[in-house]
Structure 1
Amino acid sequence: MKIACLSAAFICAASTVSALCEDAWYLRNLAFDRAGYCFGSTLGGALFDATCSTKSPTLNEWDQSMVDAHKRIEASNGCKINTKGRVLASTLIGKMDDIDLLPTLSQFESACHGYKGSPVTMTSGIGMQMSYPTGTITSGDTVYFRFESWGGFEFVETDSAAGWIPEGAVAVDSCAAFAG
């Protein structure tokens, strides 16, 4: 019985690292795609915009910082993405299309299961001034926290959307259960 539990724990940990690796790779390369990078890999070509303009894009300070952080995450977890393939299992694909300010993954995750507070609007960037709504956290949602906070805001996901919210807008006591 102990062997089965240890094996299950190892498989669980391995799949978590794999998901972290795929999400880090996706976010890092999404920043390059948005900067006009022309991908040479099969995977990059399959996932990102076919219109490109450069093999040497210039990233803004925010995106460069995010790319550097994801490179460190990938290195520390021994990530190896098959860029010769055409499929990536990242849950972020499609959720980041409307996000202006890309988030940085954290090494830690938590989740609010069964949100029971007032609706919370998620936005494309930090604050409301230069951003727009990307979704709403509503009663019953599961809210995932797995990104670094910045400037009083945190990036969150639900099963159907993602975006920035004011830090603490989803409190532990507004969850039926909190894990993490």
Structure 2
Amino acid sequence: MRTLLLTGALVCTAGTASALCEDAWYLRNLAFDRAGYCFGSTLGKSVFSADCSTKSPHLTDWDQRMVSAHKQLEASYSCNINTKGRHLASSLIGKLEDIDLLPTLSEFESSCVGYTGAPVTMTSGIGMRNSYPTGSITGGETVHFRFEPWGGFEFVETDSGTGWVPEGAITPNSCEVFAG
């Protein structure tokens, strides 16, 4: 029997504004790291690659929109990341290496517990033309939605990976339990 749980807005996987702040900071700065930015802060140097080339990186239009959205999100939650420290507890560290188009966090999240549908391929970007598979969602998995959809696609997380899937590929009817 499938159950739909209406729990209101769930904020962050860890359930705290602090977790949202750390993930937003990480995503925003990951775009700069990928563009070759040389970090000056202790935290930036600790979290990101030392393989850098510039203090004035050029971001793609996609990344610039994502960075702007995360700055707004961080401001609305009064985020204050300690960039003098060496540790960041972002749940996204190590999960986005294969992702070409970085997602934008949402203030809300939902989860499909016990996926019951056909396998769904996750991809590195939106659509298949310039993307490649990053994993597959199969029966029994829990699928987390906590990013803004875009262009008919949504970014999802599972225990086995992350990636973009067609929007609506996973519905409450294809879950044992849907929370959100």
TM-score, length basis structure 1 = 0.90
CA distance in structure 2 between the partners assigned to 1:119 and 1:85 by the alignment: 41
Q: How does 1:160-175 map to 2 (within 5 A)?
A: 160-175=160-175
CA distance in structure 1 between the partners assigned to 2:62 and 2:93 by the alignment: 20
1:93 aligns with 2:93: yes
Q: Which structure shows the higher helix fraction?
A: 1
Aligned equivalent of 2:6: none
CA distance in structure 2 between the partners assigned to 1:125 and 1:159 by the alignment: 19
Q: What are the Cα deviations for residues 109-166 of structure 1, in whole angstroms up to 9, with x where unaligned? A: 1000111111111000001111111111111111000111111100000123110000
CA distance in structure 1 between the partners assigned to 2:141 and 2:87 by the alignment: 28
* Shift in Å, 1:49: 1.1
Aligned equivalent of 2:78: 78
Aligned equivalent of 2:106: 106
CA distance in structure 1 between the partners assigned to 2:159 and 2:45 by the alignment: 26
| Higher-RCO chain (CA-CA 8 Å, sequence separation at least 6) | 2
* Shift in Å, 1:95: 0.8
Aligned equivalent of 2:20: 20
* Shift in Å, 1:15: 5.0
Q: Call closer, same or farther: CA 1:121–1:69 in 2, change over 3 Å.
A: same
1:122 aligns with 2:130: no
CA distance in structure 2 between the partners assigned to 1:40 and 1:112 by the alignment: 40
CA distance in structure 2 between the partners assigned to 1:136 and 1:43 by the alignment: 33
- Which region of structure 1 is more displaced relative to structure 2, 81-90 or 161-170? 81-90
* Shift in Å, 1:60: 0.9
User: Which 5+ residue runs of structure 1 have no aligned equivalent?
Assistant: 1-11
> Structure 1 counterpart of 2:44, which letter?
G
> Structure 1 counterpart of 2:134, which letter?
T
Aligned equivalent of 1:68: 68
3-state SS of the aligned residue for 1:154? strand
Q: What are the Cα deviations for residues 58-117 of structure 1, in whole angstroms up to 9, with x where unaligned? A: 111100000000000000001011111111111111111110000101111100011111
CA distance in structure 2 between the partners assigned to 1:16 and 1:141 by the alignment: 24
Any runs of at least 4 consecutive aligned residues in structure 1 with deviations exceeding 3 A, and if so which? none
User: Which 5+ residue runs of structure 2 have no aligned equivalent?
Assistant: 1-11
Q: How many pairs were matched up?
A: 168
CA distance in structure 2 between the partners assigned to 1:121 and 1:87 by the alignment: 33
Aligned equivalent of 1:37: 37
